[in-house]
């Protein structure tokens, strides 16, 4: 008697190998190239955006400080013997401004002074009193200047002496320029010279 033979299909005796998920070297290289291109486009734009925001921030701070200076004079009242001032200055390495109460000694504060206190010797009788100093190093990418460089507020309402007004310009090395101006009542306003600051109205032509 012949024995029966069971034939097992070859496919049943083999186990299918699972294909491991992953990326080929070519796919990885293509992804890296695409990422590098996107970064090359995005990084300069991001730097310009940060620079513009820094210019806006400095301009907004100056507006706040001008309002503060007038408020200080108004609090001191008309009986105060000496007015308050804001003075701008600059050197090869920085630009600055200082808010101060003008003293009886008649000596102005100088924010660009490097050989001592901004308001000289504060212990001297009648020395000017420093309220706030803002210094911007050139390395910050922002600088400012003002024409004229000095504004004096006096009297009960803190109005500018001689109806003087100032026009300060804040510039960024990577672009962006904002102008801060005061009117005859010392009220500050700002506008964008470059037109790249979306949160600030553009200056009139």
pLDDT single digits (tens) 103-127: 888 889 999 998 889 998 877 888 8
Q: Is the pLDDT of residue 10 over 70?
A: no
pLDDT at 80 over 80: no
What pLDDT is stored for residue 46 in this prediction?
A: 65
Looking at residue 1, its pLDDT comes to: 47
Q: Is residue 197 part of a domain?
A: no
- For residue 21, being part of any structural domain is answered with no
Of residues 23 and 121, more confidently modeled: 121
Residue 175, pLDDT score: 78
Please state, in angstroms and rounded to a whole number, the distance separating the CA atoms of residues 86 and 152: 7
What is the C-alpha end-to-end distance of the chain, expressed in Å?
Answer: 113
Q: How far out from the chain centre does Cα 20 lie? A: 52
Position 176 scores a pLDDT of 87
165 found inside a domain? yes
pLDDT > 70 fraction of the chain, expressed in percent and rounded: 83
**Is residue 67, in this structure, part of any structural domain at all?**
yes
Distant-in-sequence, close-in-space partners of 87: CB < 8 Å, separation ≥ 6: 97, 98, 100, 108, 109, 110, 111, 149, 150
**Between 115 and 79, where is the model more confident?**
115
Residues 26-77 pLDDT 10s: 777 888 878 777 766 655 566 777 778 889 999 999 999 999 999 999 998 7
Which pLDDT does position 89 carry in this prediction? 96
Residue 184 inside a domain? The answer is: yes
Q: Which two tokens mark 98?
A: 């200082």
φ and ψ of 48, to 5 deg: -65, -40
**46 inside domain:** yes
Domain that holds residue 88: 40-192
Q: Is residue 180 part of a domain?
A: yes
Entry pTM? 0.77
Q: Evaluate whether residue 173 is within a structural domain.
A: yes
Quick one: pLDDT band at residue 185, thresholds 50, 70, 90? very high
* High-pLDDT (> 90) share of the chain, %: 53
| pLDDT at residue 169 greater than cutoff 80 | yes
Summarize the confidence of residues 133-154 as an average pLDDT. Answer: 94
pLDDT of residue 79: 67
In the chain, the number of structural domains is 1
Looking up residue 124, the CATH number of its domain turns out to be 3.55.40.10
Asked if pLDDT for residue 199 goes beyond 50, the answer is yes
């Amino acid at each position: 008697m012949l024995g029966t033979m069971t034939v097992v299909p070859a496919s049943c005796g083999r186990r299918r190998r699972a294909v491991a998920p992953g990326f080929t070297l070519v796919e990885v290289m293509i992804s890296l190239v695409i990422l590098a291109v996107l970064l090359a486009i995005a990084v300069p734009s991001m730097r310009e955006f940060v620079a513009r925001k820094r210019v806006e921030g400095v301009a907004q701070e100056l507006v706040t400080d001008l309002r503060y200076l007038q408020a200080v004079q108004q609090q001191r009242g008309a009986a105060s013997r000496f007015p308050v001032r804001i003075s701008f200055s600059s050197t090869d390495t920085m630009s600055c401004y200082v808010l101060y109460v003008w003293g009886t000694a008649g000596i102005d504060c100088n924010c660009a002074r490097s050989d001592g206190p901004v308001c000289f010797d504060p212990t001297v009788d009648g020395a000017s009193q420093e309220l706030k100093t803002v210094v911007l190093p050139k390395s910050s990418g922002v600088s400012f200047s003002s024409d004229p460089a000095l504004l004096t507020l006096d009297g009960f309402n803190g109005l500018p002496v001689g109806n003087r007004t100032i026009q300060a310009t804040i510039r960024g090395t990577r672009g962006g320029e904002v102008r801060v101006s005061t009117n005859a009542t010392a009220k500050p306003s700002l506008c964008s010279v470059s037109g790249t600051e979306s949160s600030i109205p553009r200056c009139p032509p």
